[in-house]
Amino acid sequence: MLNITHNSINQRLKRNEMPSLERLEKRRTGIKLLRLLGILAVLFIIIMLLPWTQNIRARGNVTALRPDQRPQTIHSVIPGRIEKWFVREGEFVRKGDTILYISEVKDEYFDPSLLENTQMQLTAKELSVTSYMEKVKALDGQIDAMIATRELKLEQAINKLEQARLKIMSDSIDLQAANINYEIAVEQFRRMEQLYKDGLKPLTDLEARKLKMQEAQAKQISQQNKLLTSKNEAINAQVEITTISAEFRDKIAKAESEKYTALSSMYDAEATVTKLQNTYTNYSVRIGMYYITAPQDGYITKAIQSGIGETIKEGEELISIMPYEPMLAVEMYVEPIDLPLMELGQHVRIQFDGWPAVVFSGWPDISYGTYGGKVVAIDNFISENGKYRILLAPDPVDNPWPTGIRVGAGASSMALLKDVPIWYELWRKINGFPPDYYKQYEASGTEKEKK
């Protein structure tokens, strides 16, 4: 059978008695097998030459594109006690709608007339500030009056001093005249005495001349006394000027001291007024915080706190809300090795959980049930799961995303890269190489740009 020996048994076989062997020997099985293998080889080569779109697959979930449209929790700014609920879970609320009402739990805010009492204190302090301001104005007027009086008094004393100086000059002139008259009288007396000795004048004339000399001497002494009195008056006028300046300086200093004391009290009152205004405003705002309102349009998803009479702390979560009609996006997480291949505006195909789809990762054009997206944000730091987060927005030139998608739903994404043959993609994956990173430059680019 295998023809490995020279002893043949073909002549000994009775083929007419073996129809199956006869039919088998007549069939051309080898040629058909070769043809089949050839066809398969050609098909394999054709398949290996087919284009394949390289891609990066990643899992993610649906989120909102804008941070203010993502699910959020509403907190209480102040501690309180839940008194009444105005909404239920799943209900749609508008911005500003009341969600629940809380009451006060701190004893310093229990006074029902807290605002009125604070307003009365504020009014009293404002009146106190006004009184201090009026006192300051009165002291300013008093100081101005003292300054004017001082100027008049000083002017009067200066005039008196000038008069005394002029009187000194007049008395000095009169004294000089008295001295001359006295010298003349003395000379005349000597002459008369000589004439009396010579017997030319009688004794009565001598005595009359002596009387005149004594009268001139008396006038001289009197004039000297007047001059000294005038000098004394000038000194007194100078002393009076100094006394007036010191007296009014003390009075003005005392009035200014009272003025600054009033100003200090006024500033303290103004500080108290400002503090009371701040307190009044805080009380007013705090009363408004008893009503927890919706920050934006949305749906109440879950009441974290429940019941009536439950005490809550400041900053504690009360209820979660989902904003109305958010701008949907998908956040996907890629490996660090694939991050350099991603860029803003890159096209991505997305498959949402719950929506049927037929996906061919290498042939996205013939896939069904996927939706287009584009990269709008790439994180610059790694996430806690060891991957980089990429945010995808709907592609405006592609079909719109399903309307039934909710935030938090799962999604699979394929970032489309370069078109390569299937054999190249198999060879790349067998060797563990990453997808092609380098881009093809436009044909119009220079040789330097291509390098």
Question: Domains in the chain, ordered, with CATH?
Answer: 52-68+326-450 (2.40.30.170), 71-104+290-323 (2.40.50.100), 114-288 (1.10.287.620)
pLDDT of residue 93: 92
What is the residue type of 206?
L
Q: Can you give the length of the chain in residues?
A: 451
Pull the structure tokens for residue 303: 């009441």
Q: Walk along the chain (451 residues) and give the pLDDT tens digit of each residue.
A: 455 656 665 666 666 666 666 666 665 656 777 778 888 888 878 777 767 666 677 888 898 888 888 888 998 888 999 999 999 888 999 998 999 999 888 888 888 888 888 889 889 988 998 998 998 899 899 889 988 888 888 888 888 888 888 888 887 887 788 888 878 878 877 887 777 777 777 778 777 777 888 887 788 888 888 888 888 888 888 888 888 888 888 988 998 899 889 899 899 999 999 999 999 898 888 888 889 999 999 999 888 888 888 888 888 888 999 888 888 899 988 888 777 777 888 888 888 887 765 554 545 555 556 788 888 998 888 888 888 898 999 988 888 888 878 888 888 877 766 666 667 667 766 766 666 544 443 434 444 443 3
Phi (first) and psi of residue 257, to 5 degrees: -65, -45
Closest CA to 143 of 255, 24, 270, 61: 255
Residue 240, token pair as written in the block? 């009076």
Q: Which of 190, 180, 191, 174 is nearest to 216 (CA)?
A: 180
Question: At residue 184, what is the residue type?
Answer: I
Within 10 angstroms of residue 287's Cβ, the number of other Cβ atoms is: 13
Overall pTM > 0.75: no
User: What pLDDT score was predicted for residue 6?
Assistant: 63
pLDDT score recorded for residue 424:
67
Gap between the Cα atoms of 87 and 404, Å rounded: 24
Question: Burial letters for 162-180: b for 16+ Cβ neighbours within 10 Å, e otherwise?
Answer: eebbebbeebeebbeebbe
pLDDT at 100: 92
Q: Is residue 292 within 8 Å of 81, Cβ to Cβ? A: no
Question: Which three-class secondary structure state does DSSP give residue 402?
Answer: coil
Q: Which pLDDT score, from 0 to 100, does residue 211 have?
A: 83
Cβ contact 389:25 at 8 Å: no
Write b or e for each residue in 19-56: b if 16 or more Cβ atoms lie within 10 A of its Cβ, otherwise e: eeeeeeeeeeeeeeeeeeeeeeeeeeeeeeeeebbbbb
Three-state SS at 373: strand
Cα atoms in the Cβ-side hemisphere of radius 13 Å centred on 330: 30
Taking CA atoms, 150 is separated from 115, 139, 241, 283, 388, in Å, by 52, 16, 10, 54, 85
Q: In 3D, which of 143, 125, 217, 122 has the Cα closest to residue 179? A: 217
pLDDT at 368: 56
pLDDT at 451: 38
- Give the pLDDT confidence score for residue 245 in this predicted structure: 86
